[in-house]
Chains A and B, each alone.
Chain A
Amino acid sequence: MINPHPGLPEFDYFKPASLVEASQFLASHVNQARPMMGGTDIFVRMRDGVWTDKYLVDVKNLDGMNEILFDPSNGLKIGASVNMNRVIASSEVNRNYPVLAEAASKVASYQLRTRATIVGNICNASPAGDTTGICMLLGGVLNVHGVDGFRQVSLDNFFLGPGKTVLQAGDIVTSIQFPLPPPGLAGRYIKLGRNNSSDLAIVGISVVGFPEKSTQSGYRFKLALASVAPVPLVVGNLESILTQKSINDETLTEAAQAAMDACNPIDDVRASARYRKLMVRNLSLRALKEVWEAIKQ
């Protein structure tokens, strides 16, 4: 019989006093210890018996990880412990990167977002992550603390597969930072779920666009897809179509078709692969048109 209320399996909770101590502990307990932020994914996996770690290492609130900093000359830095509701409410985020707040607001429910974090969403490396695509399109770079100290990892080279990233044992992502947005940038995140509220995405479409004088079209668009490939998928082909040809209904439709052709979804409990592909085309077109209306000059 299925237990409707599985408890958490036994583990030890460890709260290190510093990043150095945290990295050393994690590196010396390979496959036994896992860094933890809000725990919103970890606890579900542990209750289901998928993860069986002996230690959870609580890395919240270490060394400035709980801050949102905006610098008008360098951009935005969101600490790894900053919860999604703070990102959504941040005036700096809403003024400069409103599409990031839009994507975060589509994650689960208010009370889950009190615990959930952008960095946790990324490190979980779910292809369905709502904020991942926008973070990639905005040029997100992770600050990672490992046993050898700090280094930076671009999101372009971060995801290896479902739940798999380039992070090594001992690595802790302390923050994500974004360069200043290009002038005139607009974005949109469209999430299709089985219902209108807290479900995981059947497909998720992230789009940003901005004027760029050096391209033939005078604009640049970027589009990323959730839930339709083993990793969050940035459709490079679309970017070249919309930089080389003048932007109109026909080329936007061509770009949306390119998004559909680029994705490689599976059938699962939420939707069939075929339905996902069709929805990628239709919703990509909708998102592209909305962004185009917002940026065209």
Chain B
Amino acid sequence: MAFHKINLKINGVLEQVDVASNMTLLGMIREKLALTGTKNGCSAGECGACTVLMNGEPVNSCMVLAVECEGADIVTIEGLAHDGQLDPVQRAIIDSGGVQCGFCTPGILISARALLDRTPQPSDLEISEALVGNLCRCTGYLRIVDSIREASRM
């Protein structure tokens, strides 16, 4: 199986990584770059635990090949905070009690950030629709929706 040398930007830092053809973006993030905030839930593009931003748009990183990321700009949960300041969605999900077991939280926060980037003042329906691809088995979603609404007002 062929290996590929790829260059990409991850959380603002340029990296060069050797990846096998069958390595996913998720595998590269967790295993090559040791950024384990991004979670592997279903490996089928359904649960959203592995959601990251690829060139500003959310993707399921289990459904993207690492080799496809040549030249891409990737942001993971580790890249949401800037200069020691939490992103407003991170601050809000803590304050609103939107975290229980925490497994879905990194993916939820990435989806929320992407939503607020394209729709700064979303309705509750738009928040729910943006979270269709992020499954949470603990919270019942209400406090997650609350926290994204709160973040949109910060």
Q: Which residues of A contact B (CB under 8 A)?
A: 4-13, 38-40, 43-44, 47, 56, 58, 85, 108-112, 114-115, 197-198
Task: List which B58-82 residues lie within 8 A (CB) of chain A.
Answer: 58-60, 62-65, 67-68
In the complex, chain B residues whose CB is within 8 Å of the CB of A43:
24, 45, 62-63
Assess the B59–A109 pair: CB atoms within 8 A: no
Expressed in whole angstroms, the Cα–Cα distance for A114 and B2 within the complex equals 27
Is B46 on the interface with A (CB-CB < 8 A)? yes
Task: List which B1-24 residues lie within 8 A (CB) of chain A.
Answer: 1-2, 4, 20-24
Leading 3 A-B pairs by shortest Cβ distance:
A109-B133, A13-B21, A111-B58
Assess the B21–A47 pair: CB atoms within 8 A: no
Q: Which residues of B contact A (CB under 8 A)?
A: 1-2, 4, 20-24, 27, 40, 43-46, 48, 51, 54, 57-60, 62-65, 67-68, 111, 114, 129-130, 132-134
Main secondary structure on chain B at its contact with chain A? mixed
Expressed in whole angstroms, the Cα–Cα distance for A197 and B47 within the complex equals 12
Shortest Cβ gap from A248 to chain B (Å): 34
In the complex, chain A residues whose CB is within 8 Å of the CB of B54:
114
Whose C-beta in chain B lies nearest to the C-beta of A13?
Answer: B21
Shortest Cβ gap from A129 to chain B (Å): 16
Assess the A85–B57 pair: CB atoms within 8 A: yes
In the complex, chain A residues whose CB is within 8 Å of the CB of B63:
38-40, 43, 112, 115
Assess the A13–B65 pair: CB atoms within 8 A: yes
Assess the B2–A13 pair: CB atoms within 8 A: yes
Assess the A11–B1 pair: CB atoms within 8 A: yes
Shortest Cβ gap from B95 to chain A (Å): 25
Interface-centre pick from A10, A40, A44, A110 (highest chain B CB count, 10 A): A110
Expressed in whole angstroms, the Cα–Cα distance for A178 and B10 within the complex equals 39
Assess the A110–B46 pair: CB atoms within 8 A: no
Assess the B58–A10 pair: CB atoms within 8 A: no
User: Given A108-B45, A110-B129, A11–B68 Cβ distance below 8 Å?
Assistant: no
Assess the B24–A198 pair: CB atoms within 8 A: no
Of the candidates A6, A12, A108, which one forms a contact with B2 in the assembled complex, judged by CB atoms under 8 Å apart? A12
In the complex, chain B residues whose CB is within 8 Å of the CB of A12:
1-2, 21
Whose C-beta in chain B lies nearest to the C-beta of A198?
Answer: B132
Assess the B22–A9 pair: CB atoms within 8 A: yes
With A8-B23, A39-B65 known, 14 other A-B pairs at CB within 8 A are A8-B22, A8-B24, A13-B4, A13-B21, A39-B63, A44-B45, A85-B57, A108-B46, A109-B133, A110-B111, A111-B111, A114-B57, A114-B58, A197-B132
